[in-house]
Chain A
Amino acid sequence: MNIEVRQPVRAQKAKVGLIDCDIHPKLTVEQMRPFLSNRWWNHLQTYGIRYRHGYAKGYAYPKMTPQAARRDAWPPTGGLPASDLDFMRTQHLDHYGVDHGIMNPLSPTGQGEQNPELAAALAFAANEVQAETWTHREPRLRSSICVPYEDGEASRTEIRRRAGNKDYAQVFVLSRTSEALGRRRYWPIFEAAVEAGLPLGIHVFGYSGWPMTNTGWPSFYIEEMTEHATSSQAVVTSLIMEGVFERYRDLKIVLIESGFGWLPALGWRLDKHWKRLKDEVPHLKRAPSEYIREHFWVTTQPMEEAEEPGHVVDAMNWVGMDRILFASDYPHWDFDDPVLALPPSLNEEQRRMIYAGNARALYNLA
């Protein structure tokens, strides 16, 4: 089922601006070939990429559409969804009048690959391909620095290599790391991100090797999708409790595709128990919710939808309207349409902030 590309819809709203903070370009290993050594290219041909979920191809929780993509996102020229810049321009960037798009490539980027050296080689190649194939050809797009996050030092090296280069808007990791992200093995990533003046984007997915819930493996893809929120709760809790924000006071975190409805309640919960248990974590100088308010940004997609729309607006106020960034998740099946995604009751100023203003300030976009 391919749907006709509609006419551009945003001309009349041009003044609001639109920055899409989650676009997934599809990179291929063939594109990465020039940036890989023969050794790693040959390794890839022989052993492939090995994630901590067991399958050589596909997933233990099969997606509900091929490539988890919108049915209409397959380029007419062939190739995978979001692998063709011209079609992405027509279908997405031009169609909605996107001023800037932050690209978050998911695979193959080396993230979650079990072999740390291969992971580093792939991350390097993925970052080269993003710049060469996308950013250099399309000035509206920015790349994310994929880092081989299980190796803190290799990640630091990759971040330093890209620091100061305007092609890259943020440092990028997945949410399901093999240890909770606040643990010290990951601190070189935070240090290098702060040094480079870049936010750290944490996008859901990845395979930690641990069960996807703290009560074991669920059965269904719908649970995998729902459980991104619980994993993200563990990420936020770990970053705070390990004292990361006392050590890296300028660190900015962007939670991508994890929703935000859970974030205020997590802050209340952590505050309550911190008041009782603060002698265990004397390195925290403030209530956990204060670290959340200062250091975290969230993206909108998948936009929270309550039975009563006003409840989502309550949650947005609790998170802070200045901390919410619009994201579409193009080209995935659960894409949020920029025209329809936000609650209609938001005022003009709030729409301006969420659609563009907050991201412009956070990512230093002109």
Chain B
Amino acid sequence: MGSGLSSMNERTLREVEQFLYREARLLDSYRFAEWLELFCEDVRYWMPTRSNRYPLNSKAISILDASRQEEYEVSEEDELAFMEETKDTLQRRVARLDTGMAWAEDPPSRTRHIITNIEVEDLVSKDQMRVYSNFVMYRNRGEIDQDFYVGCREDVLRRESGELRILSRKIVLDQNVLLAKNISNFF
């Protein structure tokens, strides 16, 4: 850990919290154009997959082996992900929603992003910070359809002209086989 609250400016922490809560509110109220503005032009928005992999060198499987999670469970950067987006493709995804013919969102999902466990870590670079958060995204749609997407995010926020912007976002969903029929919302 680079730093805890001791060296963290409390005001920055509150600012980050409010930033993430506002982002969640924009998503949950279909204000996608405003949501897009929160991302840097060179953003990397990445949602890897997770699998149950076999430990390479042990007979007795230790779940305490920290490397097991990152190394074996989460797909590599050059592997297939659930989402691997740029600002441009995020914009295209939003533009598609705006055609009135994106059937997976017609009727639109009723989403609620619950964002918790926010931790802020200073980065070496002065205008950047790493932010960890957990999420529960509840989706209800149509009559009785519902899905829970639960996981964590690792963001790098950059200050641009005084405003916080998302430079990178890694979204790790706590599922192997995705239990929802699709991912038609954002995280």
A pairs with B: no
